[in-house]
Amino acid sequence: MDIKVAVIEDQKETRKMLAMLINGSDGYECVATYESGEDALSKIPQLEPDVVMVDIHLPGGISGIETVNKLKIICPDIKCIMCTSLEDTENIFNALQAGATGYITKSTPPEKILEAITDVYDGGSPMNSQIARKVIDYFFSKNPEKKNFELEKLSAREQEILAYLSKGYRYKEIASLLFVSIETVRKHIHNIYEKLQVNSRTDALNKVFPKG
């Protein structure tokens, strides 16, 4: 059964491009496109799409973030992905707090956009790697007492992966979030273990985030 997708985007060309991409790919159907949040909110509940792609800056009275917030109240089972050119931390977290499940940029390659739709439909939380990095940075900034010199031994990507491990993500989920292969994730984790001189996920997390 096709994944039913609705698009909320104020730029006509972008709206058309996304609709063509979705309808031209097996397993997906763009059931509707909307220029404003108000229009979408009045019609999406009747359509019941599986996934809604939302731009942040929309014309009219409400933004994309407000649209997601209201839509999740009306249709709590609908999955929303922000697809925008904005990468600042405030917009990312406001969107996630409003109920967005994923956050990707408009520069995302077409095949990765489709992967993101499938991922969120299957229960994942897709993000571009640069967006994921901002989320991880925020995670660490809120827990400064947990950072120690062991963390500095790791590369930025290894720190990202370790943070996902600390939240209980599986290798497959991490690979999907970072748009890399499972083998790449395994290689990074192997390097993490070597640098920290540990042999397991638990040991690595205890060394970087010591209890007490």
pLDDT tens for each residue of 64-112: 999 999 999 999 999 999 988 876 777 888 888 888 988 888 888 999 8
One domain, residues 152 and 118: no
Per-residue pLDDT band for 212 (boundaries 50, 70, 90) equals: very low
CA-nearest of 76, 73, 71, 95 to 6 is: 71
Pick 113 or 129 by higher pLDDT: 113
Predicted local distance difference test score (pLDDT) of residue 14: 93
Residue 12 has pLDDT above 80, yes or no: yes
One domain, residues 104 and 137: no
Residue 168 has pLDDT above 80, yes or no: no
The single-letter DSSP state of residue 6 is E
One domain, residues 26 and 104: yes
Beginning with the edge strand found earlier in the chain, give each strand of the sheet holding 28-34 in spatial order.
28-34, 3-8, 51-54, 79-84, 102-105
- C-alpha distance from residue 176 to each of 69, 82, 112, 193 (Å): 25, 17, 10, 21
Q: What torsion, rounded to 10 degrees, do the Cα atoms 14, 20, 21, 27 define? A: 140
Q: With both helix axes pointing from N to C terminus, report the angle between 171-178 and 156-166 in degrees, rounded to the nearest 10.
A: 130
137 lies in which domain range? 132-208
Tens of pLDDT along 16-50?
Answer: 999 999 999 999 999 999 999 999 999 999 999 99
Predicted local distance difference test score (pLDDT) of residue 127: 79
Residue 200 has pLDDT above 90, yes or no: no
CB 63 within 8 A of CB 105: no
Q: Which amino acid is at 74?
A: I
Residues 191, 176: Cα–Cα separation, whole Å: 20
Predicted local distance difference test score (pLDDT) of residue 38: 94
| Domain final residue pick, 124, 143, 177 | 124
**Phi, psi at residue 59, to the nearest 5°?**
-75, 160
One domain, residues 96 and 198: no
Tens of pLDDT along 119-128?
Answer: 889 887 787 7
Predicted local distance difference test score (pLDDT) of residue 124: 79
Percent of the chain surpassing pLDDT 90: 44
| Domain final residue pick, 124, 153, 179 | 124
One domain, residues 118 and 141: no
Q: Give the number of domains in the chain.
A: 2
| Domain final residue pick, 63, 92, 124 | 124
Q: Which amino acid is at 80?
A: C
One domain, residues 30 and 111: yes
